[in-house]
Structure 1
Amino acid sequence: MSTTPSTASATSTPPPVLESALPPHGEGVAGDGAIQRALEAAWPADLPTADERELLPAGRGLLRADATGTGRAKWSDVFPASDQAVVPAFATARFRIQAVIARRDGSPDKAVVHLVWAGMDRGGTFTDLRITDWHFTRTTSKKGASTWTPQPRT
């Protein structure tokens, strides 16, 4: 019977290092796919495809209008005329949506468009992985057609 200590512990490999599913800050466009996949994995789809097709471009348009000022007239209920003269915080050329999803927001008639984006502000500071949510309510016309209406920020 041997009394030699086991060498298994001395030769065992260390536990694996956990890697982030997100790219490092400043990765640029190359990292946007990873951000989109991480967002989709963290928040599984729960809306019909037709609703997502309507909500995603609306959310993108609202964020672009809010951040850059471009297209605010299209969203007059969200951006009143008094907001039209506001100098945008971000230049259109330095603004990019990195990822976007649309999901239910507590009921089938409410939704949220969750956006992750990057931009350079007027002061020249570039920041990525910014997060903005736009909330929508389903409205139905007298003819029975439904559409998603963005909710003004409170």
Structure 2
Amino acid sequence: MLPPRGEGAAGDWAIQQALETAWPTDLSASDERWLLAAGRALLRADAAGVGRGQWPEVFPGSGRGLAPAFSAARFRVQAAIARRDGRPDRAVVHLVWAGTDRGGTYSDGRITDLYFTRTASTKGASSWVPQPRT
């Protein structure tokens, strides 16, 4: 059972448990950890403008004063999971988050899916690359 909207951080655990129950893990622990950290950072950069320089391929020209849509101080990820997206070289990070927009309206239970593709380097190492949002 999910907590009621507006429950605040007290309800985040229940949301996390619901996500994990609905979508059993199918990635290695290291891939899942990396994708979760990257997904949280990418969402924070997108929504609150924090750390956009870390993602130049996603936010080209981010130094041009693009105002964030949400307050960094009133932004939090409530729950997140990373799972395969149909193929071993594709993954999706599913995030549930809360934030206050520039107009001062707070809302929780917002949902964002971020997609990543695994790429191989010439040295045999692989990395996950965020895909453009469509």
Is 2:60 aligned against 1:60? no
Q: Which residue of 1 aligns with 2:111?
A: 131
Provide the C-alpha distance between the structure 2 equivalents of 1:34 and 1:104, rounded to a whole number of angstroms. 23
Gaps of 5+ in 1: 1-20
Correspondence 1:30-109 to 2 at 5 A:
30-81=10-61, 84-109=64-89
Q: Percent identity?
A: 69
Q: Between Structure 1 and Structure 2, how many residues are aligned?
A: 134
Shift of 1:83: 7.3
- What is the root-mean-square deviation of aligned Cα atoms in Å? 1.1
Which letter does structure 1 place at the counterpart of 2:41?
Answer: G
The runs of at least 4 aligned residues of structure 1 exceeding 6 Å deviation read: none
* 1:138 and 1:149 in contact (8 A); partners too: yes
* 1:64 and 1:70 in contact (8 A); partners too: yes
Provide the C-alpha distance between the structure 2 equivalents of 1:147 and 1:96, rounded to a whole number of angstroms. 26
SS in 1 for 2:107: strand
Shift of 1:153: 1.4
SS in 2 for 1:102: strand
Greater strand share, structure number: 2
Q: Which residue of 1 aligns with 2:8?
A: 28
Provide the C-alpha distance between the structure 2 equivalents of 1:134 and 1:84, rounded to a whole number of angstroms. 24
Gaps of 5+ in 2: none
Shift of 1:152: 1.5
